A and B are shown apart, each in its own frame.
Chain A
Amino acid sequence: MDSPPGARRKGASPNRFAAVAATTALVLALATACGSGGGSASSAGSGTIHVLVYGDAGNTVEQQIVDTFNRTSKVKAVLDTIPGADYQSKLNTIINTPQAPDIFFNWGGGSIAPYVKDGLLLPLDDMIAKDPALKSDFLPSVFNTAVIDGKAYGVPMRGTQPVLLFDNKQVLADAGLSAPQTWDDLINDVKVLKAKGVTPIALGGGDQWPTLMWFEYVFDRVAGPGLFQKALSGDKSAWASPDSAKALGMLKQLVDAGAFGSNFDSVKFTDGGSPALLAKGKAAFELMGSWEYSTQQSGNPDFAKNDLGYSAFPSVAGGKGDPNDVVGNTNNFYSVLKKTQHPDAVAAFLKLMYSDEFVKAQLAIGNLPTTTGTANFLAASASPAYSQFQFNLVKAAPSFQLSWDQAYPPAATTPIHTAVQEFFDGKTDANGFIQAMQSLPNS
C-alpha cells in the first residue's frame, strides 16, 4: 500500500530514462499478452455450454443433471463451480468477459438486477412461449422473484428456503408454553421465559442478517408485501408510513422486553453460537432459514430428532399482511447470458429443472424444489414431515418476500445490515432507521 519514503531520487539521466521506457514497453507487452491469451478459451467454442454454480455439497445433483443432459444432447454441458462465499464477487468479475458462462446460478432479485440493467441477460419469455411448463410448472410466488420489469430472467433450481420460527420443544414444555400463534402470544411467551431465566429468543446479531429476518416478517405482517415493494421500486415515502412506524414500534417493544437477551451482538449463527443456544436449551426460539434444520442435524442430531420444533411466523392482529405470507430465500435460479451461442441447447437444459429426476435428486440431499410436481415425491425426501410442512407453507403463501438484502442490489446490503443492527442496539431510533432505508440505492 505504501511506498518506502525516499525511494524517489531527483534527476533522471538519459540512460535511466531509456531503461524505464524499455521496462514500460515490457510491462505493456506482458499486459496485452495476458489480455489476449484468455480469449481463446471462450465458451462460444465448439458445441459446449458452460453452467456455473455455487460450489458446495449440492454440486453432486448439478453434475448428475449435466450428465443426463449430455447423454442426449449434441451440444455438451460443462459444469463449473466457484466455491462458497466468493461466488458473487467472482461472478461479477467474469460476467462480462469471454470467460463468462452460458448459464449461471443466482438468487434472483437484486443479485441479477445489475446484470439486467447492463443488458447482459437473456429474457426467457421466448423460451417460455415455446415451452410454457418452464413457468407453469413452478410455484408462482417463487418464479416471480426472478421476474424483473415484467420479463422472466431465471428458472428455479435447487430449493426454496423459507424463514421459520424454530423452537426447543422441551424448553417450551417446561415453561408450559406452545409455539405462538399471534404476536401477543409471542410477547407473552417472552415474559414467561424471561421470568424462568431462559433467553427467550436466540439471535445471531453478529451476522446481522438474522436480525434482518425479524424486520422482514414484522413489516410483512403489519403492512403487507406492498410496503417493501413500493420502497424497492423507488417510492421512499413508504418507509415513513404509519405502518412502517408501527412495525418498528413492535420490534422495539420486543427488544426492550429483553426477548433477545443483552449480548446478541456478540453471538453469531455462522460460527454455531445461536444454534447452540437453542439446542442446549439456553434459548427457546430462533427465527432462521429452513437450513436451521440441517444445521441442527449435523451439530446436535439428538436435539434435531426429538426437540426441534418449527412453526410459521405469528400473525399480527389488525395487520394488513396475510398471515400466510412467507419471507426468506425464495429459491436459487439459473439465468442465461444473452450472448450464448446455443440458446436451443440452453432451453433444453432448463427443461430438466422441472423433471422428476431433478426433483427426486434434490429432495434426497435435503433441498426442497418448488415445482408443482414436488408434492408427489415428498414422502421420499430426507425428512418427509419437515419437507411437507415447508412445501405447504410456500405453496399456500400469497406472497414470498425475498430477503431485503437480496431484493436490493448488492450496493444496499451493507447499509441495510448496519441499519438493522443499530436499531436493535438502540443506537438509532425509528427516525434514524427510516432515514437509513430512504437513502438506500435502489437500482
Chain B
Amino acid sequence: MSALSFAAVAGRRRTARRTAAGATRPGFGWAIPATVFFLLFAVLPLVLVAVLSFTSWDGITAPHFNGLANWTKLLNDPVMTQSVWLTLLLTALGVVTQTPVSILLGVWAAGPQRNRAVLSAVFFVPLLLSATAVSVLWRALLDPNFGLPGQLPWLFGNGNLLGSQAGSIAVLTFVGMWQFTPLHALLYQGGTRAIPQVLYQAAAIDGAGTVRQFFHITLPQLRNTMITSVILMVVGGLTTFDTVLILTQGGPGTDTTVSAYYMYQQGFKEFDFGAGSAVALVLVVVATLVSLAVVRLSGYDKMRSTAEGI
C-alpha cells in the first residue's frame, strides 16, 4: 500500500514536471486520504444502495434480487412523485425566504458598532441548537390550544396549522428559515467585511447614498458568497428530514412526505430496504441534477474574482 502510493506520488511528480514547465503541482499521492474516505463513505455506499434497489431485503435474511419490482412500484407511486415535487418546493421556498433576510442581517451585522456585535451574537443562537431541538421547540410553541395560536386567534384562526398541506409547508419553511438564516447571515457578514473600503469611499465621493451603495457595491461584491450560500441551502433543502420527522411526520396524510422522509419510512419503519434504496437513488439523481443546474447557472465552476481592477 504505502510503497504503491509513494510510487504513485513519484510517478505523478515526473509526469507533472514533464508536462507543466516550471511550476510543479502536488502529486496524486496527497489526494489518497481524501480519496479513501470518499470511496469508503460516498462511492461504496452509493454503489451498494444502487445494488440494493434491485433487491427485496427486510434487513433480516439475505437480500434477494427482484429485478425492477421496486422501480415499477415507485413509478406508479403517487407519494413518490409528490415527494420529489415537495422536496423541490421546500428547497425553493427555503432559498427564496432565507436569502433576502440573511443578506440584510449579514450586511447589517458587518457594521462596526458595538450593539451590533451583541445583537448579532443573539441572532446566531438558533445556529447552536440542533435541528431536533429546534423542531421540538416550535412544535410546542405552535400547539393550537396552549401555544401561540391559542393566544392569537385573530392571526391563526383555529390554529390548525399542521392540519393542512399549505399550513404544514408554511411551518416547515418558517422553522427552516428561523434555524438556518443565522448561518447564511454569518456567511454574508464575512463576505461584506471582505469588500474593500476603497469602493465605498469612491462611491461616497461620487455622491452615492447608502441604498445605492448597497445595490451597486455590496450586492455585486457578494456574488460569490451568494452562490456558496445558495448551494448550501439547496443541498440542505434537498435533504430536509429532521424537521419533517418531528413537526409533521410527513402529514397530514402524506402531504409533507418529502423524499428523504419517504426513504426513511420505507427503510426504517417498514423494513423494506430495497424500496428505501430506490427512493434514495432517486434523491441522489434529483440532487445531482439540481446541483449541476445551480453550478451551471451561477457560473460557480468558473468562479470569477470580484476584485478585478482593484
Q: Min CB distance, A150 to chain B, in Å?
A: 23
Q: A27-B36, A262-B158, A410-B271 are in contact. Are A267 and B252 (CB under 8 A)?
A: no
Candidate in A2, A27, A267, A282 with the most chain B CB atoms within 10 angstroms: A2
Contacting A at CB under 8 A, from B245-269, are 248-249, 251-254, 265, 268-269
Residues of A within 8 A of B238 (CB): 1-2
Residues of A within 8 A of B140 (CB): 271
Q: A410-B271, A411-B272 are in contact. Are A266 and B142 (CB under 8 A)?
A: yes
Q: Min CB distance, A197 to chain B, in Å?
A: 13
Q: Are B8 and A19 in contact (CB under 8 A)?
A: yes
Q: Which of B4, B7, B11, B252 contacts A427 (CB 8 A)?
A: B252
The 0/1 profile, CB within 8 Å of B marked 1, for residues 1-41 of chain A is 11111100000010110111011111100100000000000
Q: Does A149 contact B (CB under 8 A)?
A: no
Residues of B within 8 A of A410 (CB): 269-271
The 0/1 profile, CB within 8 Å of A marked 1, for residues 144-162 of chain B is 1110010000000011111
Q: Does A373 contact B (CB under 8 A)?
A: no
Q: Min CB distance, A182 to chain B, in Å?
A: 29
Which one, A68-76, A89-97, A122-130, A343-351, is touching chain B?
A89-97
Residues of A within 8 A of B5 (CB): 19, 22
Residues of B within 8 A of A19 (CB): 4-5, 8, 28-29, 32, 35
Candidate in A5, A15, A89, A276 with the most chain B CB atoms within 10 angstroms: A15
Residues of A within 8 A of B61 (CB): 96, 118
Closest B residue by C-beta to A7: B38
Residues of A within 8 A of B145 (CB): 263, 267, 273, 276-277, 282
Q: Does B163 contact A (CB under 8 A)?
A: yes
Q: Are B60 and A413 in contact (CB under 8 A)?
A: no
Q: Are A265 and B252 in contact (CB under 8 A)?
A: yes
Residues of A within 8 A of B32 (CB): 19, 23
Q: A2-B284, A413-B269 are in contact. Are A263 and B39 (CB under 8 A)?
A: no
Which one, A228-236, A303-311, A374-382, A418-426, is touching chain B?
A418-426
Q: Are B39 and A24 in contact (CB under 8 A)?
A: yes
Contacting B at CB under 8 A, from A146-176, are none
Q: Which of B149, B239, B249 contacts A1 (CB 8 A)?
A: B239
Q: Are B160 and A265 in contact (CB under 8 A)?
A: yes
Q: Which of A5, A15, A24, A25 contacts B295 (CB 8 A)?
A: A5
Q: Which of B42, B58, B139, B251 contacts A271 (CB 8 A)?
A: B139
How far is B212's CA from A160's CA once the two chains are assembled, in angstroms? 71
Question: What number of residue pairs across chains A and B have CB atoms under 8 A from each other?
Answer: 156
Q: A23-B36, A265-B162 are in contact. Are A18 and B284 (CB under 8 A)?
A: no
Q: Does A251 contact B (CB under 8 A)?
A: no
Q: Does A319 contact B (CB under 8 A)?
A: no
Candidate in B145, B272, B284, B292 with the most chain A CB atoms within 10 angstroms: B145
Q: Which of B4, B40, B143, B292 contacts A266 (CB 8 A)?
A: B143
Residues of B within 8 A of A23 (CB): 32, 35-36, 39
Q: Are A427 and B253 in contact (CB under 8 A)?
A: yes
Residues of A within 8 A of B288 (CB): 2-3, 5
Closest B residue by C-beta to A92: B59
Q: Which of A115, A262, A266 contacts B60 (CB 8 A)?
A: A115
Q: A118-B60, A271-B140, A427-B252 are in contact. Are A276 and B146 (CB under 8 A)?
A: yes
Q: A6-B301, A206-B251, A273-B146 are in contact. Are A13 and B60 (CB under 8 A)?
A: no
Q: Are B42 and A3 in contact (CB under 8 A)?
A: yes
Q: Are B59 and A425 in contact (CB under 8 A)?
A: no
Q: Does B1 contact A (CB under 8 A)?
A: yes
Q: A19-B32, A93-B59 are in contact. Are A13 and B269 (CB under 8 A)?
A: no
Q: Are B8 and A266 in contact (CB under 8 A)?
A: no
Q: A282-B145, A421-B251 are in contact. Are A266 and B163 (CB under 8 A)?
A: yes
Q: Are B28 and A15 in contact (CB under 8 A)?
A: yes
Q: Does B210 contact A (CB under 8 A)?
A: no
Q: Does B15 contact A (CB under 8 A)?
A: yes
Residues of A within 8 A of B58 (CB): 92, 114, 118
What are 7 A-B pairs with beta-carbon distances under 8 A? A16-B28, A92-B60, A96-B61, A265-B160, A266-B161, A267-B145, A412-B270
Across the A-B interface, give the 9 residue pairs with the lowest CB-CB distance, nearest first: A265-B163, A263-B160, A2-B287, A15-B11, A263-B144, A266-B162, A411-B270, A422-B253, A19-B8
Q: Which residues of A contact B (CB under 8 A)?
A: 1-6, 13, 15-16, 18-20, 22-27, 30, 89, 92-93, 95-96, 114-115, 118, 120, 205-206, 208, 261-268, 271, 273, 276-277, 282, 410-414, 418, 421-422, 425, 427
